[in-house]
Structure 1
Amino acid sequence: MRPIASPVVPPFPASGAGSAAPPAAGPVPSDGLLPLDVLDVAGALPADEQARLAEATGWLQERVRPASIGPWQRDEFPRDLIAEFGERGYGNLGLRPGSRLFTGLLHAQLARADVSLSSVVGIHNELIVGMIEALGSTEQRERFLPELSRFATFGSFALTEPDHGSDIAGGLATTARRDGDDWVISGAKRWIGLGTVADIILTWARDEADGVIKAFIVETDRPGFAAAKIEHKTGLRIMQNADLTFDAVRVPEANRLPGARGFAAANRLLCDSRAWVGWQAVGAQLAAVDIARRYALDRQQFGRPLGGFQLVQAALAEMFGNLTLSLGLMTQLARTQEEGRLTMPQAALAKSTLTRLARQTVSAGRTLLGGNGILSDHELAKVAADVEVLHTYEGTYEINTLIVGRAATGLSAFV
């Protein structure tokens, strides 16, 4: 994506600003234990990006991680905390200088602090800011991106519908009808992240005249639009998902995104978005390994640290292995993205494989904590619940697996 000509938020803080936390990665931590980044992937970054990542990691662990527990438990959206993300430049990561590896590792550290909040930041960057930047007009970019980039306003990506999830490419039922200088949008959407707090909805609808799927910016104060929060979620509880209804909502032609013509446009966005979920899976495993190891060292059983028992060490070794494999795969995927060669099968492979490994890792960690493993106060239960969502959203595990299978065989298993 092209950079914004004039930054609308301050630059990333310099190394060490506002935090005395340890570096994000390094060959040997100060406590002498095996580092979470076993292969020192972060060490491949230029020095300035290493410093920025270290500073971000410190802030995320000291400020965001503890602050996320209460809102997660209460199923609340912490606007004040999100405002701090905006102040730090996290509202337009894709439009800032920085390598793909740096941005990916930052997304992983966001997920390590809290998976829900990492979803807010990631979807905002990949599917809201990224969509307007890639598919919008110059006027739309100038009108919407400055406020979105500061988290002063919020957007939603409205594609999935009540009756169409995995088959949305062919089954999309929301319609758009041209009426003079306006479009009239009718239909419903489901599982739309930030749907109840968004100022604009990036809405995918099928043109009644030519049957082509197009996208429109729908302001949430327009007559005929309504959003209802989906209650009783067991994961990603900070992310406010919603049911949306469009009852003959009128928007001007100026709100149609000119680059969004056909489902292929959405698919290009979803390709990068699925790769980003791979970084979330890395971050969730960073959290699980960190929490489980600290617990194993602090918890005393039978007169010795829990970590001194063979079964506990075996579980931790497996968790470290899954994390390292995941981080290695995403490191190579970042290089592929940097070169502009990322394909949907590659993104689908990363998303399906890494969310599967993340499931295994957090399950082992949750078991290691025993009874405390089912309390969100001890965090691993929270991480485990969120990983279940990672395994399902941005294309289910099964759908992403079939995308890889189709690429491997040349035969489609989809109906």
Structure 2
Amino acid sequence: MELEEAMEKHLRPVLAAHSEKGEFPFEAFSKVVADVKMLSDERLFADKTAENYVHSQYYNTYLYYVMARFDVSIATFMAVHAGLGYYTFLFGGSDEQKAKWLPKFQSFDLQTCFALTEPDHGSDIAGGLATSAKRDGDKWILNGEKRWIGGAGSADLIPVFARDIEDNKIKCFVVKKGQAGLRVDKIENKIGLRMVQNGHIYLEDVEVLESDRLPHINGFRDVANILYATRAIIGVLAAGNSGGAYRAALSYTSQRVQFGKKLTNFQLVQEKLARIVSNLQSQLAVNARVADLQTEGQYDEVRSSIAKMQNSKLMRENAALAREICGGNGIVYEYDVARFFTDAEAIYTYEGTHEVNSLVIGRAITGESAFV
């Protein structure tokens, strides 16, 4: 079964209700995974080495665009599990750890996430990460908090980034669901990505064996490599959000009658639709170029930041225009546009804010770091 067909069949009937309730449709999502077998597609997880992961990017670009065009919460859940979480183990794990866990992530027998950001540290996480790790024989003791961790409440394995109090380096530790000292509270009252279960994690003397530390993560540069590898996908999600907002707005305005005519008969409505389509073409061109560069192995943090920053900016305009031409009904989940409008704000911020990505690009242009 095709991905879009499966999402329409299993997820469409529960989408509005779960968005409004702020609950993830795990049962429906599992049916999509089973029908499409996307998590077992070798192109999604092609070449299980950090050096050669890039050639699957054409498939990833298409997959995440289609998912985000349907719903960004669904795409974000997938991007955290199969992107940030998966690549943390891929880039950071030993051969034994990868052999043990990666196949289970691919089959969705185990779910993972990415526990980096904290209540007081987001953009400044490189120098400000406060969660601590203390070595005690063959185990580590973790203390601290993590916030905005998508999928944390349901994850079986949580890769937690903490600062080693001995050498002050960031390391990564695999915390397992239900461990003593681990508590995950759901973040409530969000206006965007309503279905994504963002968690606030509390770690109080949580014990992790040395064998469950990912040995190839020994500083923020290693963390940054994960972010650069996955940030371009957020640029794809931004384009997908634009595509979804456009489809929803076009459907609504093609049916809505005002002053005796369909809204699509009005010049101002057509002008806004034209702007959305033009912006979307630019977004898709950026995504295609990034996929080319990734496949050629000519990919770096600057291109990642350009894709995320530019596509998110255009997405925000597109979502606002789509909501605008739907009038008051544009803020009601029943008409789809509302989800894309509010979700745009979340995409605009996560995986590097507009300001932080602009500074990454600016540093490459000028040779000067303006972060602090």
Instruction: Verify same fold: TM over 0.5.
Output: yes
Structure 2 counterpart SS, 1:158? coil
- Out of 223, 239, 252, the position equivalent to 1:266 is 223
Deviations 1:117-147 (A, max 9, x none): 1000011111112221222122222322232
Say yes or no: does 1:214 pair with 2:161. Answer: no
> One-letter code of the match for 1:67?
V
RMSD of aligned alpha carbons = 1.5
Equivalent position of 2:52 in the other structure: none
Partners of 1:275 and 1:348 within 8 A in 2: yes
Equivalent position of 1:12 in the other structure: none
Partners of 1:91 and 1:121 within 8 A in 2: no
Equivalent position of 2:50 in the other structure: none
Equivalent position of 2:44 in the other structure: 94
Equivalent position of 1:49 in the other structure: none
Say yes or no: does 1:281 pair with 2:228. Answer: no
Which protein has the bigger helix share? 2
Equivalent position of 2:315 in the other structure: 358
> One-letter code of the match for 1:406?
R
- Out of 76, 80, 100, the position equivalent to 1:123 is 80
Q: Which runs of 5+ in 1 are unaligned?
A: 1-16, 18-54
1:177-326 mapped onto 2 (5 Å cutoff)? 177-326=134-283
Deviations 1:250-272 (A, max 9, x none): 11111010111111111011012
> One-letter code of the match for 2:350?
Y
Partners of 1:195 and 1:242 within 8 A in 2: yes
Q: Distance in 2 between matches of 1:99 and 1:165?
A: 29
- Out of 150, 155, 161, the position equivalent to 2:107 is 150
Deviations 1:214-270 (A, max 9, x none): 111111221111111111011111111111111111111110101111111110110
Structure 2 counterpart SS, 1:217? strand
> One-letter code of the match for 2:223?
A
Q: How many equivalent residue pairs?
A: 362
Partners of 1:132 and 1:141 within 8 A in 2: yes
Structure 2 counterpart SS, 1:204? strand
1:59 CA displacement: 2.8
- Out of 281, 286, 306, the position equivalent to 1:329 is 286
Equivalent position of 2:28 in the other structure: 81
Deviations 1:139-180 (A, max 9, x none): 222322232222232212111011111100011111111111
Deviations 1:10-32 (A, max 9, x none): xxxxxxx4xxxxxxxxxxxxxxx
> One-letter code of the match for 2:65?
A
Say yes or no: does 1:349 pair with 2:306. Answer: yes
Q: Distance in 1 between matches of 2:21 and 2:38?
A: 24
Provide closer, same or farther for how the CA distance between residues 59 and 96 of structure 1 changes in structure 2, counting only shifts above 3 A. farther
Structure 1 counterpart SS, 2:39? coil
Q: Distance in 2 between matches of 1:176 and 1:154?
A: 24
Deviations 1:31-88 (A, max 9, x none): xxxxxxxxxxxxxxxxxxxxxxxx3233334443443222111101211123124323
Counting aligned pairs with the same residue, the percent is 38
> One-letter code of the match for 1:339?
E
Deviations 1:370-390 (A, max 9, x none): 111111110111111111000
Provide closer, same or farther for how the CA distance between residues 381 and 340 of structure 1 changes in structure 2, counting only shifts above 3 A. same
> One-letter code of the match for 2:274?
A
> One-letter code of the match for 2:111?
F
Q: Which runs of 5+ in 2 are unaligned?
A: 48-54
Q: Distance in 1 between matches of 2:110 and 2:17?
A: 23
Equivalent position of 1:27 in the other structure: none
> One-letter code of the match for 1:312?
V
Equivalent position of 1:132 in the other structure: 89
Equivalent position of 1:31 in the other structure: none
Structure 2 counterpart SS, 1:187? strand
